[in-house]
Amino acid sequence: MIDTLLKKIESLVPETTSNVQYVEGAVAAGIVVLALIAGWYVSKFFGPKLLHIWEERAGYESELAGRRIRDMTRRATTFILCGIFLAFWPWTLIAKVVFALTIAITSGLFTNDLIRGVRMPDWIGSLMGLTVFGSVALGLVGNIDRITIAMERVGVDIGTHRISLLWVVTIAMTAVILLAVARVLMKLINYVIGNSELDGAQKVLGQKLATVAILVATFMLGLDVLGIDFTALAVFSGAFGLAIGFGMQKTIGNLIAGIILLMDRSIKPGDVIVVGDTYGWVNKIGVRAVSVLTREGKEHLIPNENLMTQEVENWSYSNKNVRISIPVGVSYNTDMDHAIELMKQACVDVPRVLNHPKPVVWMLEFGDNSVNFEIRCWINDPQSGVGNFKAAVLKRVWDLFKEHGVEIPFPQRDVHIRTMPDAASAVIKTEPPETRPAETD
């Protein structure tokens, strides 16, 4: 249809080269306008659906949401349509320039949105967008060969290899684009694994293995795109292995230790652990260290190797049920059975106490000033805090004791004076009776 339309339009004008170029340029401009309109309609119709799919697969916090996805959809549609029309007909120079500028602008803006959408620096997005724009425009018009030859001449020879400006630019563009695509894939895969039915340790392990696999695949693909022979990396890999063995042994050791921790599931995200003086719950298991979040809001970063070599208390290794012991003392004049019932009632009144196993109260010893008991009750949310739980139980015990007249004793001492020095006795005898202090037991 486009072929017939162009022939009819060209038959209406004189057969000169300039007129044909102007006609095809006008037709190309009209096609570009139609492609832009089509892109706008496609983004309006498919944009919300793509946004919904992205939110289901990658989460709401991504920068690729909302307007950015719609813009990328519109530009991709315009790019595809203009590319199809450009390849469909042997256009003249003016029409090629119109199509080339449209394709170059849309591809550059698409690259800019993609790179910024994966949270890479804005200047990298702008630089890559301009580079893609220039490369595509010159490539379609036909002047890219001159630019590449000039860039190839700028460089130095090192042995049998030549490092030119073109080689550096090609590597930089390939690395940035592959890294942006890898980030999008890692985001998608991590979100899918995170919303699966696996437990916490398996999710983290799957995400780490998927991340490593994507990075390795990206690296190998980049080498293949750049045309680098894998055998040329043999010497480099040997030197890199020595560097790992000597300079990065701690880093690699922590990485392997983290993978082992996830595989044997001894420590999982959300577990409540005690390592030395650090008490808190595992927030994240990273490549180098485990993040333990304390009740004070401090985040302790403990190397993975330390968790492999030191003693670790895991309060939620097999289950999250934890027994809490709370000491309480009552007066010797108290009805002990009644006090025990009140302490049990205090545990029942606190919502975090589990009904099974039931809370118990044990009489431990006869102290100097009180009969000492210990309340033993169970909770299944130690990550919510232990100190605040003990405070809640003790506050309820205090209220019930006060309500029922149960005395909580405090240290008291009785002083008995058997002998008194002569000087002190003389002073006491000479004092008036009304000023003499009352005797105490």
Residue pLDDT, tens place only, 75-119: 888 888 888 888 877 777 778 778 878 888 888 888 888 777 766
Cα(80)–Cα(27) distance, integer angstroms: 17
Under DSSP, is residue 289 helix (H, G, I), strand (E, B) or coil? strand
Q: Which whole number is the average pLDDT over 163-174?
A: 74
172 versus 333: the higher-pLDDT residue is 333
> DSSP characters for 177-195?
HHHHHHHHHHHHHHHHHHT
Same domain, 74 and 186: yes
The verdict on residue 77 lying in a domain is: yes
- 271 lies in some domain: yes
pLDDT band at 387 (very low <50, low <70, confident <90, very high): confident
Q: Are residues 187 and 155 in the same domain?
A: yes
127 pLDDT exceeds 70?
Answer: yes
Question: Do both 171 and 290 map to the same domain?
Answer: no
Within a domain: residue 294?
yes
Domain co-membership, 310 together with 327: no
Computed over every residue of the chain, the mean pLDDT equals 76
| Tens digits of residue pLDDT in 333-385 | 889 999 999 999 999 999 999 988 899 999 999 988 889 999 999 998 887 88
| Statement to judge: residues 166 and 61 lie in one domain | yes
Is 282 a member of any domain?
yes
Lowest mean pLDDT among 12-16, 50-54, 411-415: 12-16
Domain CATH code at residue 304: 2.30.30.60
For residue 306, the enclosing domain spans 258-314
Do residues 321 and 380 lie in contact, with contact meaning Cβ atoms separated by under 8 Å? yes
- Specify whether 286 is located in the same domain as 343: no
174 plus 270 within the same structural domain: no
Q: What is the DSSP string of 386-438?
A: SHHHHHHHHHHHHHHHHHHT----------------HHHHHHHHHS-GGGSPP
User: Per the domain annotation, does 328 fall within a domain?
Assistant: yes
Reply yes or no: is the peptide bond before residue 437 cis, omega within 30 of 0.
no
Residue 427: the pLDDT is 53
Residues 78 and 210 in one domain: yes
Q: Is residue 156 domain-shared with residue 295, that is, in the same domain?
A: no
* Domain membership flag for residue 45: yes
Write down the H helix ranges in 59-121: 67-88, 93-117
Same domain, yes or no: 111 and 198: yes
349 shares a domain with 282: no
Smallest CA-to-CA distance from 27 within 57, 5, 11 is with 5
Q: Say whether both 367 and 269 belong to one domain.
A: no
Residue 429 has pLDDT above 60, yes or no: no
What is the spatial distance between Cα 320 and Cα 379, in angstroms, rounded to a whole number?
Answer: 8
Distance of CA 66 to the CA centre of its chain: 21
Rounded to whole angstroms, the Cα distance separating 221 from 224 reads 5
- CA dist., res. 324 & res. 346, Å (int): 14
Kindly tell me if the per-residue pLDDT of 419 is higher than 60.
yes
In percent, how much of the chain has pLDDT > 70? 72
As for how many domains the chain has, the answer is: 3
Nearest alpha-carbon partner for 117 in 161, 171, 73, 169? 73
Residue range 265-318, pLDDT digits in tens = 778 777 888 888 788 888 888 777 888 888 777 888 888 888 888 888 887 777
- Phi and psi at residue 14, to the nearest 5°: -60, 150
| Edge-to-edge strand list for the sheet holding 278-285 | 299-303, 289-293, 278-285, 272-275, 313-314
For residue 330, the model assigns a pLDDT of: 92
* Residue at which a domain ends, from 193, 218, 243: 218
In a domain, 339, yes or no: yes
Q: Is residue 417 situated within a structural domain?
A: no
Q: What is the pLDDT, as a whole number, of residue 371?
A: 92
Q: What is the pLDDT of residue 363?
A: 93
CATH code of the domain in which 371 resides: 3.30.70.100
Residue 176 banded pLDDT, cuts 50, 70, 90 = confident
